Amino acid sequence: MMDSNECRRAVAAKWSNVDYRSLGTDNYDSSASSTDIEENVRPIKRLKQEVIDLTSDDENQEEDISSPFKLVKSDVYDSNVNSAHFITFKEIFGDKRLKKSILFSFQYELDFLLEQFYSGVREIVIVAQKGTIRPCTTQKGISMVDRLSVIEFFMPQYTCHHSKMILNLYDDGSCKMFLPSNNFTYAEANYPQQVCWCSPNLPPSRSGYTEGASEFHDDLIEYLKVYHNKEIVQKIVKDVKLLDFTPLKDVTFIFSAPTKDLTTGFQLLSQRLSDHRKPAESKNSTNHYLCQTSTLGAAISKKTHANLFTHVFIPILHGITSLKSKLVDTETLGGLYRAHNITPYIVYPTVEEIRTSPVGWLCSGWFHFNYNRDMAHYNMLAEELSVFYKQDPKFLSANRKATPSHSKFYMKSTISDDSNPFNNLDWCLYTSANLSLTAWGSGTARPRNYEAGVLYKSGRKPLVCKSFTNVVYKTSRQEIVSDNSQIVLVPFTLPVVKYETAQDEAFCMAKDYNLLDIHGIPYQHH
């Protein structure tokens, strides 16, 4: 039997033989986030800013707002800012009560990840597709190798294990669940904006797992079983079954998985939102559907250049068409939008937002939209449906400016007056799933990725949406929120504003930009 030192050496040797730089080439998927950025970008200097303490002001009301959504604090942007709405990975993994941590992600940089952990943690379980773990080289990382359990599996070409999820098990038998929008790499945690959903404390169950007692619990276990992996059953499902998920009774777990045995992806989302379809509305109400994403996949029809969000998501979720309906052409779709007072929004960064972000072009590596190969798809979205929106320059913070977010939010708002849409929501989905067929599937096609997210719906409690930009950085007057509200915090300004057609252009990963960023650095393809 190996001693711990031999174990460490054996595992380190195995990892050192993996060609991690090959990621994103042969196995690249448009819905995956590429974080294979050269190591020389890591030591970027922190921004020089005056110290701001937003938690010490008596007039500050941010503490009155409680939300499960936190903004991942960045070493680059936020070294001078304190806020209750930040979270760090030191906080997530550095808890001295932490006994076991279970991680799901697309990429792991062990040098970064293991530095965040409480040194007394007993076990760290990593679920990953093969070829997505960068080995550890630091003294602390190597010293913790014997506590790692790595569950690796193969994914077919152009698909990926894209879920981002943490299950932290504590010494009292309780658990907290986290869904970060970033993979576990230093650059991805610090350069684009990132969000983390945090569950309430999940206590140990007094009676054990009972199917049907909690929809969230049932769906999470179904998701874990879809891997068809004995190690996941032994090391994860067993622990999850010992928990009480009653604190998440108002939240729905939405996931994608490459399986024919379960309803997942968009079909699952449609099923869970069936009670929110309103085929007949008042003429005075307007219906707003928003998608904020870091990747826009290709058109879902080469013939019509149809888009997954505009041509599938909105018509089906609104009850205009069904899961089995044929795609409608864009002209017909425009007529349906007008008849039902529907406005679509896709929040995606412009070239200028990325170029002028505090880290300049360095931010571009996480945003994927290759419309060079299908300009008709882009023109349809930009001109015929006019769906592109950006952050409002009037409400940007000095710290982050228009730095785009790597998060993925899908939401609907119905309003009957001239108030800003998305202040009050019908529903909101936060997920790892980018806007692609691979991530979601469609009305008839099934997804091919693993994805995970949480869905909130208005009902017993109103669903209110606020911007981190406002709540943390006070870029506009804060409105009072009812104590009974469910609060979603998003990493973009509210309101968002339309692209200015004369100057705004969605960032394209395949274009050459002959522009220097704010640091005087030219653009380079990632």
Type of residue found at 10: A
pLDDT at 260 over 70: yes
**CA–CA separation, 245 and 404 (whole Å):** 33
Is 185 in the same domain as 264?
no
What pairs with residue 496 in β-bridges?
391
Structure confidence at residue 108 as a pLDDT band (50, 70, 90): very high
Q: Which residues of 151-177 are buried (b: 16+ CB within 10 A; e: fewer)?
A: beeebeeebbbbbbbbbbbbeeebbbb
> Residue range 272-283: average pLDDT?
74
Which domain, by its residues, includes 69? 4-21+54-249
What's the pLDDT at 54? 43
Cβ atoms within 10 A of the Cβ of 87, count?
21
**CA–CA separation, 403 and 349 (whole Å):** 8
Active site residue 276: no
- Overall pTM surpassing 0.85 (yes/no): yes
Is 209 in the same domain as 303?
no
What's the pLDDT at 282? 64
Half-sphere exposure of 181 (CA within 13 A, CB side): 31
What is the tally of structural domains in the chain? 2
> Residue range 43-54: average pLDDT?
47
Torsion of CA 101, 107, 110, 115, to 10 degrees: -60
Q: Which two tokens stand for residue 470?
A: 């406002």
Half-sphere exposure of 88 (CA within 13 A, CB side): 17
Domain ends where: 201, 230, 249?
249
* Residue from 522, 502, 520, 504 nearest 512 by CA: 522
Is 379 in the same domain as 458?
yes
pLDDT at 33 over 70: no
Structure confidence at residue 50 as a pLDDT band (50, 70, 90): very low
Return the ∠ at Cα 185 (arms to 183 and 190), rounded to 5°: 95
Structure confidence at residue 480 as a pLDDT band (50, 70, 90): low
What's the pLDDT at 11? 37
* Residue from 196, 179, 250 nearest 462 by CA: 250
Is 334 in the same domain as 213?
no
Residue 59: which CATH number?
3.30.870.10
Is 312 in the same domain as 451?
yes
Cβ atoms within 10 A of the Cβ of 5, count?
12
Q: Which of 85, 161, 162, 305 is catalytic?
A: 162
In a domain, residue 450? The reply is: yes
What's the pLDDT at 10? 42
> Residue range 417-428: average pLDDT?
89
Percent above pLDDT 70 for the chain: 86
**CA–CA separation, 147 and 15 (whole Å):** 15
Active site residue 228: no
Q: Which of 85, 311, 318, 406 is catalytic?
A: 406
Residue 379 backbone phi and psi in degrees, to 5 = -65, -35
**CA–CA separation, 112 and 92 (whole Å):** 14
C-alpha 404, offset from chain centre: 12
Is 231 in the same domain as 128?
yes
Is 60 in the same domain as 108?
yes
In a domain, residue 357? The reply is: yes
pLDDT at 488 over 60: yes
The per-residue pLDDT of the chain, averaged, comes to 88
Is 363 in the same domain as 304?
yes
Residue 139 backbone phi and psi in degrees, to 5 = -60, -45
Is 244 in the same domain as 369?
no
